[in-house]
Chains A and B, each alone.
Chain A
Amino acid sequence: MKKWQQRIGNWFTEHLDMPADVVLELPRITTIGHFHAYIENHRGLVLFSDNELRLRLNTGFLRITGESFVLKVMLPEEILLEGKMKEFKFIDS
């Protein structure tokens, strides 16, 4: 069932030019330079510290490492991270 949904979603994004994050419920990560990261559509905070942020996604986790992290805004499905980012990593569960 899930696979099937994804395939329809893929078809939508490819043929109708619809944004992938909306159709496929994937996270959208916007970064401004290395100091702002705006993550939408996450599924919860798993870990947060001065130099690491780990978020749960629909598929696996997102791990951001860096320095002097501050969560400027935290909403149920959005997070604005501020600090000096070094690495974004997707981890499959």
Chain B
Amino acid sequence: MKKHTQDIYFTGYVTVLIKGDRPELFFNQLVQEKVLVWDIIKKDSQTCEAKIRKQDISKLRMQRRGTGYKIQFRSKHGFPFLFTALLHKKPLLLGIAISILSIFFLSNTVWKIEVRGVSPELEHQIETRLDEYGVRLGAFKLTLGAPVDIQQRLLQDIPDLLWIGVQEKGTTYSLEGVPKTIVKEEEQPGPRHLVAKKKGVIVDMFVSEGVAQVGVHDYVEPGDVLVSGLIGNEPPPVNKDEKDKTEQKDTRKHVAATGNVIARTWYNVSAEVPLEETYTVLSGKQDNKYAIQFGDSFQLPIWGFGETEFKDSQEQTSVRHLRFLRWELPIGMRKTTEYERVTKQVKRTKEEATAQAEKLAKQDLQLQVGADADIISQKILHETIENGKVKLILYFQVNEDIATSQPISQGD
């Protein structure tokens, strides 16, 4: 019996009154039609009270037809009725809706921004930047970028930051920064020489400590000592015979040689530039589309319809999920940005290509020798056109610091 009535609350049931002559006989008919009837009570000789399931009401009406019995519905029970009753209570419904909405809203709001691991000044700087990006207390999180984007922008905008971790913990943004520490000069370098790292002709020298071993216009090879870290007279070479007789001590003082030795060096650089070239660039035009995403695949566009007018484009999408309390809902905002891509075709004359190649080669070299070095002159050694490409071999003269330190071993 329990089996029949256990889940009845969820499907709903009603109490009915059957009126008529010998009303109990009506139930015989009902049970033949597989209508579940229970809790039958005889009220008086003309009335019976019984309970039936909500879905059997139509069957009950069908059976009643032509019998002369009268049906009265007394009370409704169960969830479906409760639900419909609830639907009629507008203020309650409104209240529930408002509360769910506010929980929604509050779950998607930034409540706290934590910045750790940085000095107060840097913290202030980070907070100012975050404010610029819209990441501030009370901001709606859907409109903000992903943590990775925030991280990248922060790193780009604040040069003092070495690294910053941006974590989104529910309604809290937790940032952990590592500031760049300016590394101080090595304390007191040990005794050392300055030696050449490249071959070249010295053009200028400035020695602040140590003894210069070469002069201007001298040609040096890599490894040649430029500035010695040993000050004082060189001891005379020890004679084999007098070895035990006089044991002369090396009286020279050891210092850390410092200074700049600028030398003229030369390089051969080859560069290639095609006469005809096609490449694609982003024109800067973009088109944003917004859609509400349900689950993984279903999308409902809400802004930006239709195909873009761009012939060629590159697409970037990001999805921000709605949150409810601490759960991430399968509903989210999907932003698709289409960037227009333009294919450009460049045709160069031989002269243009040559100029371009020279420029490229120079840039290349500057990277190689460092920003401090000066490129003095350049000369085209060889120029060929092969397979639609201009190939250059260039000769450069550069003034650069060729000194590098070499510690003096003080072993023994």
Binding site for B on A (CB under 8 A): 44-50, 69-76, 80
Known: A45-B24, A47-B22, A49-B45. A76 touches B31 (CB 8 A): yes
Give 29 CB contacts A-B under 8 Å: A44-B28, A45-B24, A45-B27, A45-B28, A46-B25, A47-B24, A48-B27, A48-B40, A48-B42, A48-B48, A49-B24, A49-B45, A69-B41, A69-B42, A70-B40, A70-B41, A71-B38, A71-B40, A71-B41, A71-B50, A72-B38, A73-B1, A73-B37, A74-B37, A74-B38, A75-B31, A76-B31, A76-B32, A76-B34
The distance from the CB of B49 to the nearest CB of chain A, in whole angstroms, is 9
Number of A-B residue pairs with CB-CB distance less than 8 Å in the complex they form: 49
Binding site for A on B (CB under 8 A): 1, 4, 22, 24-25, 27-28, 30-32, 34, 36-42, 45, 48, 50
**Chain B contacts for A69, CB-based, 8 A:** 41-42
Q: In the complex, which of the residues B1, B22, B28, B48 contacts A80, with contact meaning CB atoms closer than 8 Å?
A: B1
From B30, B36, B42, residue with most partner A Cβ within 10 Å:
B42
Q: Is the CB of A74 within 8 A of B42?
A: no
- Tell me, in angstroms, the Cα distance from A44 to B37 when the chains sit together: 14
- Tell me, in angstroms, the Cα distance from A70 to B31 when the chains sit together: 16
The distance from the CB of A11 to the nearest CB of chain B, in whole angstroms, is 33
The distance from the CB of A89 to the nearest CB of chain B, in whole angstroms, is 18
Q: Is the CB of A74 within 8 A of B41?
A: no
- Tell me, in angstroms, the Cα distance from A75 to B37 when the chains sit together: 7
- Tell me, in angstroms, the Cα distance from A76 to B50 when the chains sit together: 16
**Chain A contacts for B34, CB-based, 8 A:** 76
- Tell me, in angstroms, the Cα distance from A47 to B27 when the chains sit together: 11
**Chain B contacts for A72, CB-based, 8 A:** 1, 38-39
Q: Is the CB of A70 within 8 A of B39?
A: yes
**Chain B contacts for A80, CB-based, 8 A:** 1
The distance from the CB of B70 to the nearest CB of chain A, in whole angstroms, is 18
- Tell me, in angstroms, the Cα distance from A72 to B39 when the chains sit together: 4
- Tell me, in angstroms, the Cα distance from A69 to B49 when the chains sit together: 12
The distance from the CB of B14 to the nearest CB of chain A, in whole angstroms, is 16
- Tell me, in angstroms, the Cα distance from A49 to B42 when the chains sit together: 5
- Tell me, in angstroms, the Cα distance from A69 to B39 when the chains sit together: 10
The distance from the CB of A8 to the nearest CB of chain B, in whole angstroms, is 30
- Tell me, in angstroms, the Cα distance from A48 to B42 when the chains sit together: 7
The distance from the CB of B47 to the nearest CB of chain A, in whole angstroms, is 11
**Chain A contacts for B30, CB-based, 8 A:** 74
Known: A74-B31, A76-B31, A80-B1. A45 touches B25 (CB 8 A): yes
**Chain B contacts for A50, CB-based, 8 A:** 41-42
- Residue of A at shortest CB range from B24? A48
**Chain B contacts for A75, CB-based, 8 A:** 31, 36
- Tell me, in angstroms, the Cα distance from A46 to B40 when the chains sit together: 14
**Chain B contacts for A74, CB-based, 8 A:** 27, 30-31, 37-38, 40
- Residue of A at shortest CB range from B5? A73
- Residue of A at shortest CB range from B2? A73
